[in-house]
Amino acid sequence: MDQAKTATEEFTKLFGQMPQAPDAEALMTAHKRNMEALSAANRIALEGAQAVAKRHMEIMQQTMAELTETMRALASPDAPQAKAAQQAELLKRAYEHAVANTRELSDLIQRSNGEALETLNKRIADAMDEVKSLVDQAAAAKK
């Protein structure tokens, strides 16, 4: 009988040392917020990609219009020296436009990615606070 009592006491002691099960409702709520944050980040990234694609299309249309105008200008019966100077100026302007457009698209992408990442970072920080709170609650309930 003494062995049974000792075994029961040891089992009770061991069972008492086990961590308390976390609040299932709190876990489900946290998981829901995680999914909402992920969904928001995906939406932001998609909107950013759409904005980049739209702006890229606008740039392409603008470039084609400028190219058409350039071809007309180059088809004029000017002197060869004047055409060479005109071509150099057109190339310089085209290069400057290409650099500016690339920079603009890069900024759009960076801003979109930054917003999506900020959403996820905020949720991760909140989730860490929630986990700490659950652990603290479990420790307090155990005492």
Whole-prediction pTM: 0.66
| Distance of alpha carbon 81 from alpha carbon 143, whole angstroms | 93
Whether 89 and 26 have beta carbons less than 8 Å apart is answered as no
Higher-pLDDT residue of 84, 110: 110
Those residues whose C-beta lies under 8 Å from the C-beta of residue 64, and which sit 6 or more positions away, are none
Looking at every residue in the chain, the average pLDDT score rounds to 86
State phi, psi for 35 to the nearest 5 degrees. Answer: -65, -40
Helix axes 80-142, 24-74, angle to 10 degrees: 180
pLDDT of residue 40: 95
pLDDT of residue 91: 86
| Most confident segment among 9-23, 62-76, 128-142 | 62-76
Structure tokens at 78: 């000017």
> DSSP letters along 66-90, please?
HHHHHHHHHTS---HHHHHHHHHHH
| Distance of alpha carbon 115 from alpha carbon 44, whole angstroms | 7
Q: 102-136, pLDDT tens digit by residue? A: 999 999 999 999 999 999 999 999 999 988 887 78
Angle at 42 between CA 40 and CA 45, to 5 degrees: 110
| Distance of alpha carbon 44 from alpha carbon 66, whole angstroms | 33
Buried b or exposed e, range 45-81, using 16+ CB within 10 angstroms: beebeeebeeeeeebeeeeeeeeeebeeeeeeeeeee
